[in-house]
A = this chain, B = another copy of it.
């Protein structure tokens, strides 16, 4: 007789390689203004361009769970910074400065985001709290990445 029909196609493997979003940016100059998003314009990594240095905001394209972290050089005054999600403060970092004692402040957070959600850093308070510093050999940075994309069962079987 004839050979049997071909076997079923194997199951889909395990990957997620198409779901990527990551950025890592730094300040080029001390923060110039308070109560507006901090605009990081030195790019260590921003392949998907989900961080926009014109606005200072990360904008979520792929819904899912994200990790964010920042590391700030505190000089020459106190630094009080908040991480914002859509105009709402989510987390605060405060470090006081003293003469001849430049410091480092940092924070990390994991957040579930929907497409269109925006996340950014902003000095919280008036100019006296604007001591987020950077120059050629002092960095203040902001990084984030998609940790787990939201995948519906429908997507998974597609």
Contact = CB atoms under 8 A, between A and B. Distances in A.
Nearest to A73: B94
This chain's copy number in the assembly: 3
Interface in A83-120: 90-98, 100-112
Contact-residue size bin, chain A (C-beta under 8 Å from the other chain): 35 or more
B138 A92 contact: yes
Interface in A1-45: 1-20, 22-24, 26, 44-45
A122 interface: no
Contacts of A98: 98, 100-101
A47 to B, nearest CB: 7
Interface in A37-93: 44-45, 47, 65, 67, 69-71, 73, 80, 82, 90-93
Interface of A: 1-20, 22-24, 26, 44-45, 47, 65, 67, 69-71, 73, 80, 82, 90-98, 100-112, 124, 137-139, 141, 143, 145, 147-149, 151, 155-157
12 contacts: A1-B3, A7-B8, A8-B10, A10-B10, A12-B15, A12-B156, A15-B151, A15-B156, A20-B65, A24-B108, A95-B103, A96-B100
